[in-house]
Each structure stands twice: as C-alpha cells, then as structure tokens.
Amino acid sequence: MLVNNFTPPIVERNEVPTWAVSRKKDIFSHLCGSLKTISDTVPLAPRMLRDIIDRSMPKLFDNKAKMISFVECMLGLDTDRMGDLIGAILLAKVVDLLTELDVNITWEDILQEEHDKGIFEMELEDLDADDDGDGFGQAGTKVCLGGNACAEKLDGLMVVVCEHLKSLDRQRLYKEFVILKTIFRASLLRVHRSKFAQFIMFYTCSLDPKTLGEGFAVFLTDIVTEKKEDPISRMSAVSYVGSYLSRARFISADTVVTILKKLVDWCVDYCDHQSKREATPIPNHQLFYATCQAVMYVLCFRLRSIMDYPNLKSDLFHMPFGFLFRHRLEPLKVCLPSIVNEFLRQAKDAGLVAAFVDPAAEDAIESDLSRTFGGINRLDMFFPFDPYLLKESDRYIRPNFEFWSMVKTTYSDDTDDDDDELEDLDAPEMNVGSLDDHVEIDINSDDDDLEYSMNKMSITPHHSFLHQMAMDSDGGLSMPARIRPSTSPPSRWAMSGESP
C-alpha cells in the first residue's frame, strides 16, 4: 500500500491535482519514514520491499509525472541503514529505467541534416544566426529534444537523480559512486546507443573531482588495458575515457597526462607485439586504432592547457609518438580524418610533431584503409560525452562541460578578446555562476517561443556521413553544423508546482 502511494493520482490531461502538488514533499516524507520504521522493526522487510518496488517500477510508456514521483520516493529510501541494505538495487533499477528511455531516443531524432560535416565543425556556433541573444544555452543555442516523450521523461528523471546525488554527504557520495561504477560496468558500458544516461557518472564525478573524477578515469583506463576484459567492453571504455578526459573541465591536466601515458604505453606495447608477427588485416586492430584516436582526441582539447605546465609538457614530449605514428599499422591513415587533422595542426604548432609525420598524412584525407576499417559498425566513432541536449537537467552538466568553442588551441591568437568571446558562450538564462540555484522555466509559453534550434551542438556522428568528409577550405576539416530536430512544446504540467 505504501509503495502504491509513491505515485500521486493523475486527473484530466495527465495532470497532478493541485492538492497533491502542494503536499508532495510532506507525503513523500511520511511514506519514506513509515517504510524505514517498518525496516527497523522487521529485519526481513527490506528484502520484501525490494521485490515490491521491482514489480511496481514505472514502465517505458507510463506518465512522466508517475515516473518522476516514483523515482523520487525510491531515492528517498537510499539513505542510512535502508540505503546500505537495498541502495544498490534501488540505484540499479533507476539506471535501468534511464537507459531504457535513453535508447528509445533514436539518432534520427537528433541528426537531421548537413551530414557532410566533421565532428568539430558541427559544434561550432553560427553566432550571426543568434544576434538577438534570446537563446537558451551556449551562444544562444536552445538545448532541447522537443517533441520526444522519452526525452522529456528522461530529462525530468535526470534532474531527480542529480538532486539526490547533490544532497549526499561526502561519505555517502563515495558509497554511491562505488555502486554506480558497478552499475555502469554492468548496464551502461556496452550500450552504444546510450546518449544521456551516462552523464549520471559525469555529474557524480564533478561533485568530487579529485577522488571520484580521477577514480573514474583510472577505472575506464584499467578496462582498456586489461587483456581479460571482453573486446566490446574495451572498445567502449576507450571511447568513454577519450570523451571524458576531453569534456570534463574538472579533471586536472596532471591527471590527463597520467592517463595519456598509460594509453600511449599500451599502444607502444601493442606495436612491439605486432612487429614480431606477420601483418594482419586492419579490423583485427580495432582497439589499437580506437586508443590512438582517443589520445589524439584528448590532445585536441587539452594540448594547450598541458603546455602551460613545464613539467607536464616535458612528460608529454617524452612520450614515443614518433614510434607510434610511424609504425606499419599507420594509425594516422585509419583514424577519423577530422581528428587527425586537428591533432596534427595543434601538435605542429606546439612542436610536438617534428619529423616523424609523413607530409602526405598531414592532409588528413580519408584513405581507402579508413573507409574499409570497421564499416558501419565502427565502434571507435562513439563519443559518449558529446554535448548534453536535455533542456531542464542541462544546468547540472553545463558548468563542468568543455565545449569545443571554449577550447584554446595551440594555434589560437592570444591577442583576441577572450573575455568577450567566452561571455557570448552562455545565453542570459544560463548564467554559469548561478546554475546551482533554482532555475525557473515557463512551460506555459506560446508554442512559437518553444521552437528550439540546435545549430551548433556537437553530437556523436552518424555512420552514414563519416566517410563523406573532405577538405572544403584552406582551413581543413574542423570539429561540428546545423542539427534541427523536430520540436514541440514541453509537457503542460509540472510535479513541483505552478512553475517547475
């Protein structure tokens, strides 16, 4: 009976009655308090409660209000003794629900046009198109996947989970992190269609960058370099670690260099091993190429910041890039041309690339080898921490997320007015300094005001256009292009009151 009351009554138009909204916190407090009292009194009660919650979990097509309310109550039980007893199972159920919603948001809902762009170019803003400055998000970009019911439900649930994590003390947060790593390893790591659910790990790490942030990077790297791990997990882990180190602003340059050294050392060991064997087809070396690509991708984002520290610069310059890129496996000819081109451009300017690169490779034109490698199933193209496109929960991710337009490259002009440039990256509604505060969003606006453009957001590229990239200008390929998903106004109700 108590679990059935995790969800409020739903009336006309799938709305929650006013009285339920106003009393929600009080009702939830009594529900959780009663269940905890029962658990303390009856030792076997938590196990019974676990089974009841498992049977009562919201389904994919359930009402958004029901989902949010149920998960809020579930996470309310994840504290103290009750959390120690069934917290891991409760979190696993929540992550499974997030993942189910996530994989039902198809790439067709996101990728609409301009499939001939490089992954960096798609993320660059067309500032002239947003001179009115009335956007929502980076440089006037309105971040939203409007019109997709799964996206709206996932957005609301991400807010609930992030608020729960934010409320935990340091000791409890560390316990949750250990549980979430196990859940991530079992449920998310191998899900290549996941686009947003993995940001739960990103946000958790941002709450304690030194311990949790670095711990997650090491956790992913260990999966990549461990021979006992299955190939799919290793391929996915290298994509995660490359995307994570590139996008997580809270990760220090020292940690980045440490992880890069581990990855480069593994690549060199792999080359040494292959030198003793007969040449084999390119698809047999997918993990090697994916790891080389991850290293280059991270350096596209982080090379300039590493160069600011003499000791880290020295460590980086002592890494055997020459041996790696001159090896007969030729990673520069197989990895994505846009990444190779950007890496070479920055590395040459920084002096990292000296005489070891064949001039022909500097053109970064996609070779026949690159077209052949992996076909439509190229797992190394997976960038799990691409810009976050969910509107309401974006405020938890954005302060710690590195957009490509924010990156200072080695060839950038230091005389530019950097302050003005960075000031333009966030719209008035998205003041980074106050993102942790309550953000009011008017969901009763006219439909015309709720049309969202995503002209400049970078997302994981679709396989259908990755092989069409070419050098269209003297500047070469650049990192992402206009992406216009179908839009519609968000839901007309909110569980938290008149204004969500």
Distance from C-alpha of 90 to C-alpha of 160, rounded to nearest angstrom: 14
Please identify which residue in the block is written with the tokens 């929540």: 94
Give CA–CA dist 298/257, Å, rounded: 10
Going by C-alpha positions, the residue among 370, 346, 368 that lies closest to residue 357 is 346
Q: 159 is written with which tokens?
A: 């807010």
CA 385 to chain centre: 3
pLDDT given for residue 335 in this prediction = 86
Q: In angstroms, rounded to a whole number, what is the distance separating the alpha carbons of residues 463 and 461?
A: 6
CB 192 within 8 A of CB 99: no
By the 8 A CB rule, do 447 and 489 touch? yes
What are the structure tokens assigned to 224, written together? 């990549």
DSSP string, 1-44: -TGGGGS----GGGPPPHHHHHTHHHHHHHHHHHHHHHHHH-TT
pLDDT score, position 80: 67
| Per-residue pLDDT, 301 | 96
CB 45 within 8 A of CB 98: no
Cα–Cα distance for residue pair 259/255, rounded to 1 Å: 6
**Between the CA atoms of 152, 101, 484 and 379, what dihedral angle is there, to the nearest 10 degrees?**
150
Cβ atoms 380, 293 nearer than 8 A: yes
Is the dihedral angle over the CA atoms 130, 131, 133, 139 positive or is it negative? positive
CA distances from 79 to 3, 88, 163, 315 (A): 17, 11, 14, 44
> Are the CB atoms for 279 and 328 separated by under 8 Å?
yes
What is residue 226's predicted lDDT score, i.e. its pLDDT? 93
For 73, what's the count of Cα atoms within 13 Å in the CB-facing half-sphere? 29
Return phi, psi of residue 138, to 5°: -65, 125
Per-residue confidence (pLDDT) for residue 36, from 0 to 100: 85
Task: Give me the pLDDT at residue 111, please.
Answer: 54
- Rounded mean pLDDT for each run of 10 residues along the chain, 500 residues in total: 80 65 76 85 85 89 87 82 80 94 79 50 48 41 59 94 94 94 93 89 97 97 93 93 96 96 94 78 80 95 94 94 86 87 91 63 47 42 85 95 92 57 36 38 38 35 35 42 33 35
- Separation of alpha carbons 323 and 335, rounded Å: 17
Answer yes or no: are the C-beta atoms of 268 and 320 closer than 8 Å: yes
Amino acid 199: pLDDT? 97
Half-sphere exposure of 113 (CA within 13 A, CB side): 8
